[in-house]
Chain A
């Protein structure tokens, strides 16, 4: 009896490694700084789809709040990069604060003078927030659509905060650090191949790390919890514990994406906390296949690739098509393109087996 190649772990690992190895050559082949930067952005968006795949596809938790981790981390990174351009003596506070009647740097901003502290905070704060938020929800056994609504409310809360706290966040305009990220003496040019490789390296680490995690016993229990929380609970597993863990890890991955995003685009605004953006992440993962880490990443590449190919004039038409596509996928192809591949490979092994049976 032959089994479906799609479920073969060795084959999966080969595909994953070959994919990321090939992606490394992309900037050498295209040799155009603008496109390299665009592809680096896709990598980061792919990382967001990855976090959705983890929490929703594997954990069964439909979080519409992944943008919280992304946005908080992006603001942390934006603040860090902004402070790199400030000088304690000559220009101690960013100019947008001056126009908002602030005379000294707010306490909230102080830690970001120090770049490593700033980056660590940008990653740590969203992760801890997801830990606390997840503990609040899952210990109260909030589940299903309620999680979606509560995360949505939380996201809206943060959005209005980022929008409204103008003296601290520059409000609607957002923070645009005047110069690229400096690591010690080294400058990371967002349009360089180096920035692309940093993003790719992080995405590879995150994907392979999550793949290992999901193949472990932990990953299997997480999927058991997704399939039937009651039964997992009766078997003695702490359902809320596993849910909190998955939610927190997904928050960390989204936060990592937020940090990389600002490194690459050198800008952060409340749009990173918009509801539409967070739901878009879910769409990317759904199109590619939420039950496949690589599928979700490819879904993000695919949707965003089409979007930037069509350009801004076609944007409204594009959103119309995206909405329609999404309805069709949910209706007819709930496991996305990866699910399509799975059933195609299934058919490949099924047919000879059926003939033998006759």
Chain B
């Protein structure tokens, strides 16, 4: 970066595209954050290994595609299932024992993320892998002044589908009713015959699966490498915290807001500088609204 050309002047067409990129960034952050939001909202568990679930999703898609020969579009749901199963195992083996100590789950899952990163690095090697996506996804789409790759549109579509599906599961199914009951009052739900342990395992597995789904797509835009997950984790947390814990709609609005702020700042200055201001703004925002945008839509305990 040079100081002399630090500021970019306003121009209509690139600026409109920056706004569009903001939405695209928002969809990436939202799909990365959705699983985290559900897990934190339901269980009060801060899963620091969420980024590594993203990474595992990318690797499972990569292995399926190159070793087994599964077409890319099938790898995406497959990554959801595989990482979901891994998530269920981790909930049973580790997270379950730490529910009463939220700070310790944060630390234990951070230890877990170290293990996952290094484990993958040792088994599959540190070099970035290339996940192939169909040619038509890499083509560009042009409407009026807007220009966007089909892949971004694809991620956008998958994110909306995942969001709607999650909302439907939570609010329109019996399972979702049970999840919300446990979210509001675990003991009371248990009295009514809901197996909270099973609900937690399912929720954690679903959250992990969403991360895996996200990873299978992220791996195709960029590369697949062991610590790719750490590039999403902070943003995903911010989306959850700004949106308000336990509020899906909050996560939606906060991801759009943060994505647009980031993209507009990035347009006028540059990416890293934009991130600095974004993080700073979030800290200031939380000073005045620590409960997030949509406060306690479904109060936890």
**Which residues of chain A have a CB within 8 Å of any CB of chain B?**
62, 100-102, 133, 136-137, 139-142, 144-146, 148-150, 152-154, 156-158, 160-161, 163-164, 166-167, 275-276, 279, 282-283, 286, 316-317, 319-320, 322-327, 330-331, 334
Contact = CB atoms under 8 A, between A and B. Distances in A.
B98 A149 contact: no
B119 interface: yes
B241 A322 contact: no
Given A140-B288, A325-B111, 4 more contacts: A136-B287, A160-B275, A316-B121, A320-B115
A142 B122 CA distance: 39
A166 B273 CA distance: 12
Contact of A157 (B106, B108, B276): B276
Interface of B: 1-4, 46, 94, 97-98, 101-104, 106-108, 110-115, 117-119, 121-122, 126, 230, 234, 237-238, 241, 270, 272-273, 275-276, 278-280, 282-284, 286-288, 290
Contacts of B2: 100-101, 167
Contacts of B101: 334
A332 to B, nearest CB: 9
A141 B283 contact: no
A148 B103 contact: yes
Nearest 4 pairs between A and B by C-beta? A323-B114, A326-B111, A157-B279, A164-B272
Contacts of B112: 323, 327
Nearest to B108: A330
B275 A326 contact: no
11 contacts: A62-B103, A102-B3, A150-B241, A150-B283, A153-B283, A157-B283, A160-B273, A160-B275, A276-B230, A326-B110, A334-B104
A164 B273 contact: yes
A18 B237 CA distance: 45
A164 B277 CA distance: 13
A319 B283 contact: no
Secondary structure class of chain A's binding surface, majority of residues: helix
B275 A156 contact: yes
B107 A282 contact: yes
Contacts of B270: 164
A135 to B, nearest CB: 9
B241 A319 contact: no
Contact of A142 (B97, B276, B279, B286): B286
Contact of B115 (A142, A164, A324): A324
Given A153-B282, A153-B283, A142 B106 contact: no
B111 A324 contact: yes
B102 A145 contact: yes
Nearest to B45: A145
B110 to A, nearest CB: 6
B279 A153 contact: yes
A330 B106 CA distance: 10
Contacts of A327: 94, 108, 111-112, 115
Given A326-B108, A331-B108, A319 B118 contact: yes
Contacts of B230: 275-276
B131 to A, nearest CB: 23
A327 B114 CA distance: 10
B114 A157 contact: no
Contacts of A137: 286-287
